[in-house]
């Protein structure tokens, strides 16, 4: 085979030479006939997805990072192990996220890529290549070979993967498509044979997450631990409002802070110093005397929903219609005896990572730029930094380390501090570590879009949903501009409302319709520009960004609350009402599972209060990323104070193939807690000038005191043949179920969040 | 120059006395357990034990801890070994039961808050051998300057890990 190419289902296998030690097979890629870096594939370099080493160890690489899902350290290894027929433990090294050490880019979202992550396909190609090598070595036809634990055998003869690559440098070039620096990165192409699901032995088992030990024993290198020689600590003084231009930067008191210096670039003011404490104190001193223009251009949180209803522009963007729309809704509603017309309102939410964003940048004299950070999309950040500096992307390296969960905030690359660190480092000629404060992180990061939805529906004389119409309104969800670059007046990608924007301002139908029995359905989604942006001299408004279950949360909440209201209108138990209107077996099964496991009481009347406390139950469902979800919430309402205690959350999830039950259970539990937090506590506060939520008191999230009993029911459906997603959805399910439970407990409907005691009290008094 | 004892070792620190302990631990002593979360004692990510009591290192000045004993996440195992009188050889391969339980229960999701969670759990279990769920919830919400916050929602896993660690510590350390 030496010097020749073997075709492996569209991938090319070749031997590049012989070596004394370190023999291996490197599975790299080719894009449209050439390699991404426009240089000959060096199989020892990071283009490789998978490396099979002569000692039978295996290395895998992914451009995606870990943000607490654990997927790259658990599910990815399990999937690769099964495709290759090796033990989980054979995959000894996982390299993720770094732009100079991983192949494919892409964001840390949709990690299982509808059942076909890049690594699964790459492993399938590698498996076929190894079988070709074994067939040649053993002199046996390929279809006569079997593999167990990395040993290929046939008729008494056998050879291990390690022996197959020993003494050689083998290269397998896999076809890919896409753009590595884009939001979505590269995707492995083609259709190599995949292992039948029935033969899986690693997938389905609860392997522990390999980084847990280092995190628990303080051995992990977090992004917060990265240091460089000569590094300075930086703090950024952000403008007074979202529209404030700089009038004059404050003067540094050199007698107090002899080692600090101020950097001003456009409307960006930074302070750097050799020690963190001096940087903090100096930035506070400079901030106090920095002057900004005033600006008022936001509606303020109290007028938000009125603004969205009456003043916001929903006409510019094209309207999205659901593919499942059907029937004559107006006629169906007109001819039905019972009707509902309602508007549902959801406030802006913060991603609110526990660790504020932080990055270390090193802009070197030779023009090379190194950024050490914690991003969900290193390649997209890399291209954004290159654009900002007007330098070739090859000059920029982004390395990503463990850090706080971002829940989607950095999936387009930017967490906030990276570009500011680069600007400061370039200005002072030294590495600069920029740590955002808690206040910076709440006031200058992006937020999850607020939304309103108008619903009209009706039920017929038989208690069936006869017509349903919903119109969703939500400002543009994805502003991935580097905010420091915007403030400094440097180039960035387009804002959502500008020409060239990747996502634009249009909304989409994010929440698939699941009540197939309904005869007439009309769902539409309206998008609009970022609130405040057009009038802000900084071109910055309430910047929006996807948050765990993005867009679908904003659409599923009104739909699921409306369906519960329809059930009450029909006099039918809300869970039974959903079963009545569902047709998909997987959905029916999750509904039956939550009914059986939650202690749901099938009834059409509500229970009575005792001792001033009224209890109720509510249910919600979602179909997301090939996964079916159902959730039941049981709550207690204090009828005098309006305080809600969520007593139990039961979630049933069918993701198709359950890859790792223990890890999935923890993800779902965590999502449920975030859901309770969203339902009870979370609302971005802002006035006419900017965000006023500045700490954990003005942006409260759930504490352990809010923790309900959480029961997770995993439904493994290997016959579905796909991997769904487990790290999203659970955070969106709780709120509509809790609102349903409040309706059950009190007869009062809450059509907006959060369910703070004063709001619930006002409903109870109404 | 301020003298402090960190994880059983006396350290001389040059930083000004008003420097928050968090920056001393992270930057001067290069420890990575305590994390910056808010700088206002509102989240617990930066917690350490000060003479056995959980404090928020982000608002605790260096000057105020002079001569006192600080234990960080890095020092939990040695703290346990000392409490149990383990030999040096045994100590080297022993994790604090809280850390062992955190691993066994796969408690961290992103993990950024878990330093403070394990510090708080250690403080609790040194005083209350078999805490009820209500006592655990109280420890993590009302016993300090603020609740310990986890945005990933690992509270269930934390309670299960505390219970597992409690059982192990009662038995003398076998997780």
Total-model pTM = 0.96
Beta strands A320-321; A91-96: pairing state: unpaired
d(CA B175, CA B165) in angstroms, rounded, equals 7
Taken in order of first residue, the domains within chain A and their CATH numbers are 5-203 (3.30.365.10), 229-295+351-443 (3.30.365.10), 570-765 (3.30.365.10)
End-to-end CA distance of chain B: 41
C-beta of residue B13 within 8 angstroms of C-beta of residue B2: yes
**Count of all residues that appear for chain B in the document:** 175
DSSP A107-170: -SSSTTGGG--HHHHHHHHHHHHHHHHHHHHHT--GGG-EEETTEEEETTEEEEHHHHHTTEEE
pLDDT, position A296: 98
Residues 6+ apart with CB under 8 A from A462: none
- Shortest CB distance from B106 goes to which of A662, A677, A696? A662
Cβ–Cβ gap B95/A217 under 8 Å:
yes
Task: Name the DSSP class of A544.
Answer: B
Instruction: Tell me if A704 and B31 make a contact (CB, 8 A cut-off).
Output: no
Cα dihedral across residues A325, A330, A331, A336: positive or negative: positive
- Test B118 with A216 for CB contact under 8 angstroms: yes
B108, A68: Cβ pair inside 8 Å? Answer: yes
The tokens for A430 are 């030294």
Which residues on B lie below 8 Å from A210 (Cβ)? none
State the nearest Cα–Cα gap between A730 and chain B, in angstroms: 11
Hey, what domains does chain B have and what are their CATH numbers?
2-73 (3.10.20.30), 76-170 (1.10.150.120)
Residue of B105, B106, B157 to mutate when probing chain A, most A C-beta within 10 A: B106
Are the C-beta atoms of residues A521 and A468 closer than 8 Å to each other?
Answer: yes
Instruction: Pick the closest to residue B21 from B75, B51, B64 (CA basis).
Output: B64
**Partner-chain contact B152 A218, CB within 8 Å:** no
Contact A527, A505 (CB under 8 A): yes
Q: Please give the Cα distance from A478 to A184 (Å, whole number).
A: 14
Residues of chain A with pLDDT under 70: 1-4, 30-47, 604-605
Q: Do A275 and B27 touch (CB under 8 A)?
A: yes
CA atoms within 13 A on the CB side of A29: 31
Determine the pLDDT at residue A47: 66
pLDDT of residue A4: 62
pLDDT at A43: 37
Q: How many residue pairs bridge chain A and chain B with CB atoms within 8 Å of each other?
A: 177
- State the number of CA atoms in the 13 A half-sphere of B163 facing the CB: 12
**CA distances to A618, A635, A725 from A602, in Å:** 11, 16, 30
Exposed, middle or buried by CB within 10 Å (0-12, 13-18, 19+), for A499?
Answer: exposed
**CA gap A450, A473 in Å, rounded:** 9
Distance from CA of B121 to the nearest CA of A (A): 13
Interface test with B, best of A69, A216, A283 (most B CBs within 10 A): A216
Of the candidates A567, A643, A556, the residue with the CA atom closest to the CA atom of residue A606: A567
- What three-state secondary structure class fits A294? coil
pLDDT for residue B38: 98
Q: Residue A3 has what pLDDT?
A: 60
Contacts of A565 (CB under 8 A, 6+ apart): A340, A342, A457, A743, A749
- Per-residue model confidence (pLDDT) at position A181: 86
The answer to whether the CB of A639 falls within 8 A of the CB of A612 is: yes
Asked if the Cβ–Cβ distance from A437 to B113 is below 8 Å, we say no
pLDDT at B115 over 50: yes
> Is A352 at the interface with chain B, CB within 8 A?
yes
Mutation for A interface: B32, B98, B110, most A CBs within 10 A: B110
Q: Please indicate whether, in this complex, the C-beta atoms of B151 and A354 are within 8 angstroms of each other.
A: yes
If contacts are CB pairs under 8 Å, which of residues 1-60 in chain A contact chain B? none
Name the residue of chain A whose CA is nearest to B154's CA: A670
How far apart are the CA of A430 and the nearest CA of chain B, in angstroms?
Answer: 18
- Mean pLDDT, chain B, rounded, equals 96
Which pLDDT belongs to residue A105?
Answer: 87
ipTM of the complex: 0.97
- Residues near A266 by beta carbon (within 8 Å), at least 6 away in sequence: A246, A487, A488, A489, A490
Q: Which of B36, B148, B155 sits opposite A673 (nearest CB)?
A: B155
Contact B141 A704 (CB under 8 A): yes
Three-state SS at A732: helix
């Amino acid at each position: 085979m030496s010097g020749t190419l073997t075709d492996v289902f569209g991938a090319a296998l070749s031997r590049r030479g012989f070596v004394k030690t370190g023999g291996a097979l490197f599975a790299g890629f080719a894009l449209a006939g050439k390699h991404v870096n426009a240089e000959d594939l060096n199989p020892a370099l990071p283009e490789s997805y998978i490396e099979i080493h002569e000692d039978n160890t295996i290395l895998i690489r992914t451009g995606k990072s870990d943000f607490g899902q654990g997927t790259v350290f658990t599910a990815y290894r399990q999937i690769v192990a099964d495709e290759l027929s090796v033990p989980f433990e054979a995959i000894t090294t996982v390299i993720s996220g770094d732009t100079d050490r991983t192949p494919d880019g892409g964001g840390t979202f949709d990690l299982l890529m509808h059942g076909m992550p890049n690594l699964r396909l790459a492993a399938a190609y590698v498996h076929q290549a190894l079988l070709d090598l074994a067939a040649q070595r053993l002199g046996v036809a390929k279809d006569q070979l079997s593999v167990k634990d990395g040993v290929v055998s046939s008729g008494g003869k056998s050879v291990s993967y390690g022996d197959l690559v020993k003494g050689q440098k083998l290269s397998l070039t896999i076809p890919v498509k896409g753009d590595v620096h884009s939001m979505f990165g590269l995707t492995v192409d083609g259709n190599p044979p995949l292992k039948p699901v029935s033969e899986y032995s690693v997938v389905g088992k609860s392997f522990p997450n390999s980084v847990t030990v280092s995190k628990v024993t303080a051995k992990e290198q977090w992004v917060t631990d990265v240091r460089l020689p000569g590094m300075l600590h930086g703090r950024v003084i952000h403008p007074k409002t979202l529209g404030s231009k700089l009038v004059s930067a404050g003067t540094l008191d050199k007698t107090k802070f002899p080692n600090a210096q101020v950097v001003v670039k456009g409307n960006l003011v930074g302070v750097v110093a050799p020690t963190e404490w001096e940087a903090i104190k100096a930035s506070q001193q400079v901030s106090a005397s920095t002057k900004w223009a005033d600006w008022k251009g936001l509606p303020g949180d109290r007028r938000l929903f009125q603004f969205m209803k009456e003043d916001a522009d929903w006409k510019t963007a094209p309207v999205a219609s659901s593919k499942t729309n059907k029937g004559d809704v107006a006629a169906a509603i007109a001819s039905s005896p019972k009707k509902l017309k309602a508007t549902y309102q959801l406030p802006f939410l913060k991603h609110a990572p526990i660790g504020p964003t932080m990055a270390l940048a090193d802009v070197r004299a030779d023009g090379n730029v190194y950024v050490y950070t914690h991003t969900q999309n290193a390649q997209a950040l890399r291209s954004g930094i290159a654009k900002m500096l007007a330098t070739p992307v090859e000059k920029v390296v982004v390395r990503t380390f463990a850090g706080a969960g971002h829940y989607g905030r950095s999936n387009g690359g930017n967490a906030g501090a990276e570009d500011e660190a680069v600007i400061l480092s370039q200005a002072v000629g030294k590495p600069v570590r920029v740590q955002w404060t808690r206040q910076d992180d709440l006031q200058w990061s992006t937020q999850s879009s607020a939304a309103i939805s108008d619903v009209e529906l009706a039920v017929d004389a038989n208690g069936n949903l006869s017509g349903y119409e919903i119109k969703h309104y939500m400002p543009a969800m994805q502003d991935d501009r580097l905010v420091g670059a915007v403030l400094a007046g440097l180039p960035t990608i387009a804002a959502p409302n500008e020409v060239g924007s990747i996502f634009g301002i249009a909304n989409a139908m994010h929440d698939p319709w699941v009540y197939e029995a309904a005869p007439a359905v009309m769902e539409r989604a309206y998008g609009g520009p970022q609130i405040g942006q057009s009038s802000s001299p900084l071109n910055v408004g309430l910047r929006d960004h996807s948050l765990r279950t993005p867009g679908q949360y904003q659409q599923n909440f009104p739909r699921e609350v409306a369906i519960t209201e329809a059930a009450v209108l029909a006099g039918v138990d809300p869970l039974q009402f959903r079963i009545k209107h569902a047709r998909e077996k997987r959905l029916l099964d999750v509904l039956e599972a939550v009914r059986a496991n939650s202690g749901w009481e099938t009834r059409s009347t509500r229970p009575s209060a005792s001792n001033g406390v009224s209890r109720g139950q509510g249910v919600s469902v979602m179909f997301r990323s090939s996964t079916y979800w159902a959730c039941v919430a049981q709550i207690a309402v204090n009828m005098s104070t309006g305080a809600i205690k969520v007593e139990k959350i039961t979630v049933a999830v069918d993701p198709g193939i359950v890859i790792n039950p223990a890890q999935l259970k923890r993800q779902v539990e965590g999502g449920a807690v975030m859901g309770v937090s969203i339902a009870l506590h979370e609302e971005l506060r802002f006035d006419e000038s900017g965000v006023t939520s500045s700490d954990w008191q003005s942006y409260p999230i759930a504490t352990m005191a809010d923790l309900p009993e959480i029961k997770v029911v995993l439904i493994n459906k290997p016959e579905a043949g796909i991997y769904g997603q487990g790290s999203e959805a659970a955070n969106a399910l709780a709120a509509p179920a809790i609102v349903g439970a409040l309706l059950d407990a009190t007869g009062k409907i809450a059509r907006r969040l959060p369910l703070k005691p004063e709001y619930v009290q006002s409903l109870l008094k109404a | 120059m301020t003298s402090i004892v960190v994880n059983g070792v006396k350290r001389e620190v040059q930083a000004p006395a008003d420097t928050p302990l968090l920056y001393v631990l992270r930057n001067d002593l290069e420890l990575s357990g305590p994390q910056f979360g808010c700088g206002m004692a509102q989240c617990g990510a930066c917690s350490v034990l000060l003479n056995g009591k959980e404090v928020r290192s982000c608002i605790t000045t260096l000057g105020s801890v002079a001569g006192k004993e600080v234990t960080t996440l890095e020092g939990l195992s040695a703290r346990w070994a000392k409490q149990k009188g383990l030999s040096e050889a045994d100590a080297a391969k022993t994790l604090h039961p809280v850390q062992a339980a955190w691993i066994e229960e796969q408690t961290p999701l992103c993990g950024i808050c878990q330093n403070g969670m394990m510090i708080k759990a250690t403080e609790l279990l040194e005083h209350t051998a078999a805490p009820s769920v209500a006592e655990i919830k109280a420890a993590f919400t009302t016993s300090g300057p603020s609740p310990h916050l986890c945005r990933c929602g690992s509270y269930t896993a934390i309670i299960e890990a505390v219970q597992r660690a409690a059982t192990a510590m009662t038995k003398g350390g076998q997780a």
